[in-house]
Amino acid sequence: MSFPRYKHYKDSGVQWLGQVPTTWGIRRIRHLFEIRKRIAGGEGYDVLAITQQGIKLKDTASGDGQLSADYSKYQFVQVGDFAMNHMDLLTGYVDISPIFGVTSPDYRVFAVRNREVCFDRYYLYLFQAGYRNKIFYAFGQGSSQLGRWRFPTDEFNNFDLPFPSIEEQRQIASFLDRETGNIDALVATQEALVGLLKEKRKSVISSIVRKGLNPDAPMKNSEVEWLGQVPSHWEVRRLKHLSTVISKGTTPTTVGADFTAEGIRFLKAENITSLGVTSEPEFFISPEAHAVLKRSALEDGDVLVVIAGATTGKSAVMRKELLPANTNQAVSFIRLRDVHLSSYISLWLSTDLVQKLVLLSSVQSAQPNLSMTDLGNLPVALPPDSELAKIVSVLSKEIAQFDALIKEAGEAINILQERRGALILAATTGKIDVRGLLSKEPENKAAA
C-alpha cells in the first residue's frame, strides 16, 4: 500500500530529520518532557525491567540476571511515565510504563510536561524509532566495542523532535496502532509457524535416531531408564567410548592474548546453532595465541557442544572450511574415533530426551554448566554402520526441507519488521500524510 505525502514541506534545520510538513514545528525534548528522579528510599516495591519487548516486572526471587543489593536506592516509575535505558543505545529501549514500580537509578524516567500539546503515544513511537533506527546512537557517548553507548542528559534534553499539532499527533498514533497491530499479527502467525516447524523437525529427528527407519523392527530394553527400548540389533555405548578426546577451549585472555581484527577463527557458544557451525559473529585470535592454545585447536568433524550458558546442549559438526579455528571454555569439542559418526552424534545430542538429560546433568547455578564427565557418560543408541549411513542421509534431506521452510518464514518476519519500522519512522517524521487514512481499511495488510 502506498501512502500520500503532505503538499508542502520545509527544511527542519535538523540533520537527522530532514524536511517536515510546513505546518509542523520543532521542539527540544526539554520543552516537551521533564526528567523525574524520585528515589524510593525503601524496599518492597515491584522492580521494573526495561526490555526491547517493553517494561516488565523483574523476577528478583529467581536470581536470574543482574540483581541489586539495595532496591531502596532505585527510583519510582509512575503509571504513564516514560522509562528509558539511556545507558545502552545499542540494546536498550524505552517504553511508557503500564505499572507502578521502581527501576534502576541509572535509567532515565521522564514525563510529558503538558498533555494539551503533547500526546505520549505519538512520542513513544518516535522515541522507539530512535532506538530501532539508531538515530540516538549518533548522539551517544561511550565505547561501541563494549556494546555501551549512552545518551547523556544534556544531549537528551537538547535533542530536537518534530512537533505537529496535538490533533495530528493523535491521528498519527492511532494510525500506527492499527497498522502495526496488523503487522504484528502477521509476524505472530509466522513465528507460530516457525515454532511448529522446529517442533516437527525435532520430533522427526528424535523418532528416527531412537527407533531407526523400520517401524516394524524388533525392539529390546536399552537398560537405560530414560531411553526405553531401542531396535534389538543396535548397541548402546557411552559417548566417551566412541571418542578419542572430549575437552573444551580456553578464553584467550587467560594466556595474555586478546581478540584481533583478523587471524585464526575463534568460535563461541553463539556460533553453534541448529543450522550448524556459523562464522557469524566473527572473532579472531593471533596465530601466536592459537599456538599457545593448541590443545583446543579444532579439527574437521569435531562435534562442538555448548556446555555453559543459555544454549547449553546445542551441538553442531565443525566444518573444514572454517578451519583453522579454536574455541573457548563454553564450548566442548568431541573428537570421535570414527569421524563418520559425527553427524549422527550431533543429531543424537539434539533429541529432546538427550537435551533434557543434559539440562538435568548441568550444574544448576545462575547458568547451566555441563561437565566433561557428564558429557562423556551420555549413552548413545548406535545402529550398524550401513544403517547409520542411511539414517544420516534420510535425516539430512528431511532437515534440509524443514530448515528451508524455517528460513523462508524467518525472512518473511524480517521483511515485516523492516516495513513496520519504516512505516513508524515515515509517519512520525511527516514523510507520509496519514490523516485521511484512519477510516480506511488497508488494501493489503501484508504490505502495510
What is the pLDDT confidence band of residue 425, given thresholds at 50, 70 and 90? very high
Tell me if 436 sits within 8 A of 172, measured CB to CB: no
422 inside domain = no
335-357, pLDDT tens digit by residue?
A: 999 999 999 999 999 888 888 88
Answer with the one of 163, 196, 225 that is the final residue of a domain: 163
| Residue span of the structural domain in which 349 resides | 215-382
Q: Quick check: is 170 in a domain? A: no
Q: Is residue 193 part of a domain?
A: no
pLDDT (tens digit per residue) in 35-46? 999 999 988 899
Residue 406 falls inside a structural domain: no
Number of domains present in the structure of the chain: 2
Which stretch of 16-20, 53-57, 357-361, 376-380 has the lowest confidence by average pLDDT?
Answer: 357-361
Lowest mean pLDDT among 137-151, 406-420, 424-438: 137-151
Same domain as 255, residue 118: no
Assess if residue 126 is contained within a domain. yes
Closest CA to 447 of 422, 428, 410: 422
Pairing of β 303-306 and β 315-317: antiparallel
| pLDDT above 80: residue 421 | yes
Shared domain check, 150 and 289: no
What is the band of 115 on the pLDDT scale with cuts at 50, 70, 90? Answer: very high
Angle between helices 120-132 and 385-428 (to 10 degrees): 130
Query: Same structural domain for residues 374 and 241?
Result: yes
Residue 423 in any domain: the answer is: no
Confidence of residue 367 (pLDDT cuts 50, 70, 90): low
pLDDT > 90: percent of the chain: 69
* Residue 104: how many other CB atoms lie within 10 Å: 21
In the chain, how many H helices and how many E strands? 9, 27
Mean pLDDT computed over 364-383:
81
Confidence of residue 143 (pLDDT cuts 50, 70, 90): low
Instruction: Report the SS3 class of residue 404.
Output: helix
239 with 368, same domain: the answer is yes
Question: pLDDT (tens digit, 9 = 90+) per residue, 188-206?
Answer: 999 999 999 999 999 999 9
Residue 281: exposed, middle, or buried by beta-carbon count in 10 A (0-12, 13-18, 19+)? exposed
> Phi and psi dihedrals of 34, rounded to 5?
-125, 135
Give yes or no: residues 223 and 366 share one domain: yes
**CATH code at 148?**
3.90.220.20
Mean pLDDT of 29-34: 97
How far, in Å, CA of 111 to CA of 75, rounded? 14
Give a yes or no: residue 370 inside a domain: yes
Q: Single out the residue in 361, 382, 403 at which a domain terminates.
A: 382
Looking at the fold, whether 149 and 224 belong to one and the same domain comes out as: no
Task: Identify the pLDDT of residue 436.
Answer: 85
Coil, helix or strand for 77? strand
The last residue of a domain, from among 359, 382, 405: 382
Question: DSSP assignment, residue 39?
Answer: B
Q: How confident is the model at residue 147 (pLDDT cuts 50, 70, 90)?
A: very low
pLDDT band at 321 (very low <50, low <70, confident <90, very high): very high
**Which pLDDT score is estimated for 363?**
66
Measured CA to CA, the distance from residue 287 to residue 294 in angstroms comes to 10
Cα–Cα distance list, 94 to 54, 55, 391, 414 (Å): 7, 8, 49, 21
Cell numbers that stand for 167 in this block: 490533533
Average pLDDT over residues 394-408: 94
Position 90: which residue type? Answer: L
Determine the Cα–Cα distance for residues 48 and 309; give it in Å rounded to an integer. 24
Q: Same domain, yes or no, for 229 and 155? A: no
Window from 90-94, 214-218, 361-365 with minimum mean pLDDT: 361-365
Q: DSSP for 166-187, please give it.
A: HHHHHHHHHHHHHHHHHHHHHH
Q: Within 13 Å of residue 84, how many CA atoms lie on the same side as its CB?
A: 25
Q: Mean pLDDT across the stretch 87-115? A: 93
Instruction: Name the strands in the sheet holding 264-267, side by side, starting at the edge strand that comes first in the sequence.
Output: 284-285, 264-267, 325-327
User: Residue-wise over 9-28: b if at least 16 C-beta within 10 A, else e?
Assistant: eeebeeeebebbbeebeebe
Find where cell 543482574 sits: 66
Q: Say yes or no: 122 and 227 in one domain.
A: no
394 in a structural domain: no
Round to whole Å and give the CA distance between 225 and 414. 43
Burial zone of 381 (CB within 10 Å; 0-12 exposed, 13-18 middle, 19+ buried)? buried
What's the pLDDT band for 251 if we cut at 50, 70, 90?
confident
Assess whether 248 and 375 both reside in one domain: yes
CA distance 307 to 320: 22
* Co-location of 155 and 238 in the same domain: no
Residues 47-82: tens digit of each pLDDT: 999 998 899 998 765 544 455 557 889 999 999 999
Q: Same domain, yes or no, for 133 and 34?
A: yes
Q: Which of 78, 173, 95 is nearest to 130 (CA)?
A: 95
For 434, the grid coordinates are 496519514
Q: Is the pTM higher than 0.85?
A: no
In this structure, the answer to whether residues 237 and 343 fall within a common structural domain is yes
DSSP 365: S
Mean pLDDT over each residue of the chain, to the nearest integer = 89
Percentage of the chain with pLDDT > 70? 92
